[in-house]
Amino acid sequence: FDKNDIIVSKTDLKGRILYANRVFINISGYTEEELLGQPHSILRHPAMPRSVFKLLWDTLEAKQEIFAYVINRCKNGDHYWVLAHVTPSMDINGQIDGYHSNRRVPDTGIIKKIIAPLYKILLEEEQRHSNAKEGMHSAFNMLVKILEEKGIGYDEFIFSLKN
Protein backbone atom coordinates (compact mmCIF):
# COMPACT_ATOMS: atom_id res chain seq x y z
CA PHE A 1 0.00 0.00 0.00
CA ASP A 2 1.05 3.60 -0.48
CA LYS A 3 3.32 5.22 2.11
CA ASN A 4 0.69 7.92 2.66
CA ASP A 5 -2.11 5.41 3.30
CA ILE A 6 -3.19 4.49 6.80
CA ILE A 7 -4.86 1.20 7.61
CA VAL A 8 -7.46 1.72 10.33
CA SER A 9 -9.47 -0.78 12.31
CA LYS A 10 -11.45 -0.86 15.52
CA THR A 11 -12.22 -3.97 17.56
CA ASP A 12 -14.24 -4.94 20.59
CA LEU A 13 -12.70 -6.31 23.78
CA LYS A 14 -12.33 -9.77 22.25
CA GLY A 15 -10.52 -8.42 19.19
CA ARG A 16 -13.48 -8.81 16.81
CA ILE A 17 -13.39 -6.27 14.00
CA LEU A 18 -16.05 -3.57 14.32
CA TYR A 19 -14.66 -1.18 11.71
CA ALA A 20 -12.23 -1.49 8.80
CA ASN A 21 -11.38 1.41 6.53
CA ARG A 22 -11.17 1.06 2.75
CA VAL A 23 -7.34 0.75 2.79
CA PHE A 24 -7.59 -2.17 5.23
CA ILE A 25 -10.28 -3.87 3.16
CA ASN A 26 -8.34 -3.43 -0.08
CA ILE A 27 -4.97 -4.68 1.17
CA SER A 28 -6.40 -7.61 3.14
CA GLY A 29 -8.29 -8.93 0.14
CA TYR A 30 -11.38 -9.55 2.26
CA THR A 31 -14.69 -7.80 1.76
CA GLU A 32 -16.05 -5.60 4.51
CA GLU A 33 -18.69 -8.24 5.20
CA GLU A 34 -16.00 -10.91 5.56
CA LEU A 35 -14.02 -8.79 8.04
CA LEU A 36 -16.71 -7.33 10.30
CA GLY A 37 -17.33 -9.49 13.34
CA GLN A 38 -14.26 -11.63 12.69
CA PRO A 39 -11.33 -11.81 15.10
CA HIS A 40 -8.47 -9.56 14.01
CA SER A 41 -6.37 -12.72 14.06
CA ILE A 42 -7.96 -13.58 10.71
CA LEU A 43 -4.88 -11.73 9.39
CA ARG A 44 -2.37 -13.53 11.60
CA HIS A 45 0.65 -14.60 9.61
CA PRO A 46 2.42 -17.79 10.76
CA ALA A 47 5.77 -15.93 10.79
CA MET A 48 4.47 -13.50 13.43
CA PRO A 49 5.67 -14.47 16.92
CA ARG A 50 2.92 -14.94 19.48
CA SER A 51 5.28 -13.43 22.07
CA VAL A 52 5.04 -10.04 20.35
CA PHE A 53 1.25 -10.26 20.51
CA LYS A 54 1.55 -11.10 24.22
CA LEU A 55 3.55 -7.90 24.70
CA LEU A 56 0.95 -5.98 22.69
CA TRP A 57 -2.01 -7.32 24.68
CA ASP A 58 -0.24 -6.90 28.05
CA THR A 59 0.47 -3.27 27.16
CA LEU A 60 -3.09 -2.59 26.01
CA GLU A 61 -4.60 -4.22 29.10
CA ALA A 62 -2.45 -1.82 31.17
CA LYS A 63 -4.30 0.99 29.33
CA GLN A 64 -1.20 2.00 27.40
CA GLU A 65 -0.63 2.45 23.70
CA ILE A 66 1.94 0.45 21.77
CA PHE A 67 3.82 0.67 18.50
CA ALA A 68 4.77 -2.66 16.95
CA TYR A 69 5.91 -4.13 13.67
CA VAL A 70 3.44 -6.75 12.47
CA ILE A 71 3.40 -9.08 9.49
CA ASN A 72 -0.14 -9.80 8.29
CA ARG A 73 -1.50 -12.35 5.84
CA CYS A 74 -3.98 -11.43 3.10
CA LYS A 75 -6.93 -13.59 2.14
CA ASN A 76 -5.00 -14.88 -0.91
CA GLY A 77 -1.97 -15.86 1.22
CA ASP A 78 0.19 -12.84 0.39
CA HIS A 79 1.65 -10.87 3.27
CA TYR A 80 2.43 -7.29 4.19
CA TRP A 81 4.34 -5.61 6.99
CA VAL A 82 3.00 -2.67 8.98
CA LEU A 83 4.12 -0.40 11.77
CA ALA A 84 1.04 -0.51 13.98
CA HIS A 85 -0.01 2.02 16.57
CA VAL A 86 -2.59 0.34 18.78
CA THR A 87 -4.49 2.08 21.56
CA PRO A 88 -7.16 1.01 23.99
CA SER A 89 -10.46 2.86 23.65
CA MET A 90 -12.06 3.92 26.93
CA ASP A 91 -15.66 4.41 27.99
CA ILE A 92 -16.76 7.40 30.12
CA ASN A 93 -15.78 5.48 33.28
CA GLY A 94 -12.20 4.95 32.09
CA GLN A 95 -12.72 1.26 31.35
CA ILE A 96 -11.40 -0.29 28.16
CA ASP A 97 -14.26 -0.94 25.75
CA GLY A 98 -12.30 -1.76 22.60
CA TYR A 99 -9.15 -1.11 20.62
CA HIS A 100 -8.14 1.18 17.77
CA SER A 101 -5.25 0.57 15.40
CA ASN A 102 -3.60 2.75 12.78
CA ARG A 103 -1.02 1.08 10.59
CA ARG A 104 1.49 2.59 8.21
CA VAL A 105 4.02 1.33 5.70
CA PRO A 106 7.19 0.50 7.67
CA ASP A 107 10.80 1.12 6.67
CA THR A 108 11.75 -2.00 4.71
CA GLY A 109 15.40 -1.64 5.70
CA ILE A 110 14.47 -1.87 9.39
CA ILE A 111 12.29 -4.91 8.65
CA LYS A 112 15.08 -6.72 6.77
CA LYS A 113 17.97 -5.81 9.08
CA ILE A 114 16.35 -5.90 12.52
CA ILE A 115 12.71 -6.93 12.84
CA ALA A 116 12.57 -10.01 10.57
CA PRO A 117 15.74 -11.53 12.13
CA LEU A 118 14.44 -10.79 15.64
CA TYR A 119 11.03 -12.28 14.88
CA LYS A 120 12.72 -15.34 13.36
CA ILE A 121 14.64 -15.93 16.62
CA LEU A 122 11.50 -15.43 18.72
CA LEU A 123 9.47 -17.74 16.49
CA GLU A 124 12.17 -20.42 16.62
CA GLU A 125 12.12 -20.22 20.41
CA GLU A 126 8.34 -20.54 20.43
CA GLN A 127 8.47 -23.56 18.14
CA ARG A 128 11.22 -25.23 20.18
CA HIS A 129 8.60 -26.02 22.83
CA SER A 130 5.96 -28.71 22.41
CA ASN A 131 3.54 -26.62 24.48
CA ALA A 132 2.58 -23.44 22.56
CA LYS A 133 1.92 -21.43 25.71
CA GLU A 134 5.30 -22.36 27.20
CA GLY A 135 6.96 -21.45 23.92
CA MET A 136 5.25 -18.07 23.84
CA HIS A 137 6.32 -17.31 27.41
CA SER A 138 9.88 -18.43 26.76
CA ALA A 139 10.16 -16.21 23.68
CA PHE A 140 8.52 -13.34 25.58
CA ASN A 141 11.14 -13.70 28.33
CA MET A 142 13.82 -13.73 25.63
CA LEU A 143 12.46 -10.46 24.23
CA VAL A 144 12.35 -8.90 27.72
CA LYS A 145 15.97 -9.96 28.31
CA ILE A 146 17.08 -8.42 24.99
CA LEU A 147 15.42 -5.14 25.97
CA GLU A 148 16.89 -5.25 29.49
CA GLU A 149 20.37 -5.77 28.03
CA LYS A 150 19.84 -2.68 25.89
CA GLY A 151 18.53 -0.82 28.92
CA ILE A 152 15.37 0.33 27.15
CA GLY A 153 11.68 -0.42 27.01
CA TYR A 154 9.90 -1.79 23.98
CA ASP A 155 8.64 1.55 22.64
CA GLU A 156 12.10 3.07 23.05
CA PHE A 157 13.51 0.12 21.12
CA ILE A 158 11.01 0.58 18.28
CA PHE A 159 11.69 4.32 18.03
CA SER A 160 15.46 3.83 18.20
CA LEU A 161 15.50 1.69 15.05
CA LYS A 162 17.14 3.30 12.08
CA ASN A 163 17.89 1.92 8.66
Separation CA 103–CA 82 (nearest Å): 6
**Residue pLDDT, tens place only, 41-62:** 999 999 999 999 999 999 999 9
**Residue pLDDT, tens place only, 73-108:** 999 999 999 999 999 999 999 999 999 999 999 999
Separation CA 50–CA 63 (nearest Å): 20
Separation CA 139–CA 155 (nearest Å): 18
Phi, psi values for residue 81, rounded to 5° = -95, 145
pTM for this entry: 0.92
Measured in whole angstroms, how far is the alpha carbon of residue 7 from the centre of its chain?
13
Cβ-contact 50, 72 below 8 angstroms:
no
